[in-house]
Amino acid sequence: MNVTFEQKDNLNGTISVNITAADYAPELDKKINDYRKRANIPGFRQGMAPKSMIEKMFGTSMLLEAVNTAASKGLFDYIDEKKLNILGQPVLNENSKIDELVKGSDYTFTFDIGLAPDFKLNISEKDVYTRYEVVIDDKMIDDEIDRMRKRFGNLTEVEVAGDNDVVYTSMTELNESGEVLEGGVHSASTPVLTSSIKHEASKAVFIGAKKGAEFNVNVFDLFDQDETEISHALGINKQTVADLGKMFKVVVNEIKRNETAELNQEFFDKAYGEGVVASEEQMREKIKAELGTYFGGQADHLFEHKMMDSVVAKQQIILPDSFLKRWLIDRHPDKFNADNVEQNYQHEAAYLRNHLFEEKLLSENNVKVEEADIKQAAINYTKNMFGAYGNTGISDEMLASIVEPSMKKEEYRSRMINLAVSNKVREVLKSKVTIEAKSVSADDFIKLVQEHNSKHHHNH
């Protein structure tokens, strides 16, 4: 076997693999003999059919497999031996494709390859990035207290419906004459939140209604023409909503109002657990800390994203674009074709540039990702996931027990490795650039996040 490499430029090359009959004959004989032992050929006992017959019947496909195996081994052994840093996978050159294989012949296969670019890191203390610090003011704390007071308030029964009450009704479908439709839809319990009614005329009928009141209403106006909402309210299949009569008779069964909770110990215990908070002042301090933690995490996320985008763009990492597009079409024909590869390639190229930058940054700074880093990344990821649902009191031991089975799954472990690598990259980057803190209001910070997300999603 003879393997040669020709470098066309800094990013592209070809590898030619010349294989002789001696290179693939052992693999071909092995395949024929293995199949012969298993084959059930009419007229012969299992394993006793002549080798020549097996070769005549299946030799072409086995020859193809043997030749491909030999060519692939020669190709990848050469790449490993010469330590070629390739991108994607080699793609067989169109001129190398053979219409017919003949046993005993020599073959040469030429593969096009894309080479990883050689670039120097361009990072210094002169690179200045802003990390925003959200100012937690009294209004934000007041708004959060109001929200919590409503959340932990008590539902009390009232006689007359107001603008933010829940009116519990029964609803019955009417015919065109305004009478109860025989066999029509009847719902014994349909709650209506008055503040959610957008249709003014329908809302006016509910506001001021008393317990026991009866009136007719257009259900499509009442629920803002939303077929899903109508189906849920009436307890019917969404498919049948279009066939409903518009007018329904409504009977008010009960009216309830959410009374805002008083700022007392009962409220503090409901909100934070018994004895955790004993005064409004302590509650305000706790809310301020919670908002600080939330916005701090959001600020870190924004800062790190903007820093990474800027730093990677600054490196000017040039890729073998034409080769990579060919490789994507060849390797993933279900996702890429000649019509969409230009558009979809940009996302793949951005991911690849990030990956190359991360590899080089960690390598040049002698930073390795250890098993402990991967496990910690998984624990932090799980902790944040539970935190999003309000479960912030889970111990690291419990988190580790949750993570351990998932780490045995290849896809999950791969994601955690990528997360651990990203964590290390951010740590190294932060030590090399200049970070400036800037105080902003919550409203201004939210606008900054929205602008970044809009730009980021547009580019990717």
For domain 154-259, give the CATH number: 3.10.50.40
Spell out the alpha helix ranges (H) of 247-340.
265-272, 280-315, 321-331
Domain covering 2-115 in this structure, CATH number: 3.30.70.1050
Question: CA–CA separation, 287 vs 295, rounded Å?
Answer: 12
pLDDT single digits (tens) 75-91:
999 999 999 999 999 99
The CATH class that applies to domain 128-139+279-459 reads mainly alpha
Query: Quick check: helix, strand or coil at residue 131?
Result: strand
DSSP per-residue codes, 139-179: HHHHHHHHHHHHHT-EEEE-SB--TTEEEEEEEEEB-TTSS
User: So where are the chain's domains?
Assistant: 2-115, 128-139+279-459, 154-259
Judge contact between 303 and 130, C-beta under 8 A.
Answer: yes
Q: Is the pLDDT of residue 72 over 60?
A: yes
pTM: 0.70
Contact 379, 400 (CB under 8 A): yes
Please classify residue 248 by burial: count the beta carbons closer than 10 Å to its beta carbon, then call 0-12 exposed, 13-18 middle and 19+ buried: buried
Whether the Cβ atoms of residue 315 and residue 122 lie closer than 8 Å to each other: yes
Reference 182, options 120, 137, 250, 245; nearest CA is: 245
pLDDT digits (tens, 9 = 90+) for 338-349: 999 999 999 999
Question: Per DSSP, what are the bridge partners of residue 173?
Answer: 248
Pairing state between β 12-19 and 2-7: antiparallel
- Answer positive or negative: Cα dihedral of 267, 269, 273, 278: positive
Give yes or no for a contact between 154 and 131, defined as CB atoms under 8 angstroms apart: no
For the segment 130-143, what is each residue's pLDDT rounded down to a tens digit?
999 999 999 999 99
Tell me the C-alpha distance between 238 and 223, whole Å.
13
Rounded percentage of the chain residues whose pLDDT exceeds 70: 92
Residue 232 has pLDDT above 80, yes or no: yes
Q: Residue 392: pLDDT above 60?
A: no
Pick from 299, 298, 297, 352: nearest CA to 324: 352
Q: How confident is the model at residue 367 (pLDDT cuts 50, 70, 90)?
A: very high
Q: Are 271 and 277 in contact (CB under 8 A)?
A: yes
Helix (H) or strand (E) holding 214: strand 214-218
Q: Are 148 and 271 in contact (CB under 8 A)?
A: yes
Cα dist from 83 to 80, 173, 358, whole Å: 5, 77, 19
Segment among 96-105, 249-258, 445-454 with least mean pLDDT: 96-105
DSSP 3-state assignment of 309?
Answer: helix
357 has a pLDDT exceeding 90: yes
Instruction: Average the pLDDT over 42-52 and give the result.
Output: 67
- Side chain identity at 127, as an amino acid letter? D
Q: Are 122 and 361 in contact (CB under 8 A)?
A: no
Which residue is associated with the tokens 């004459």?
177
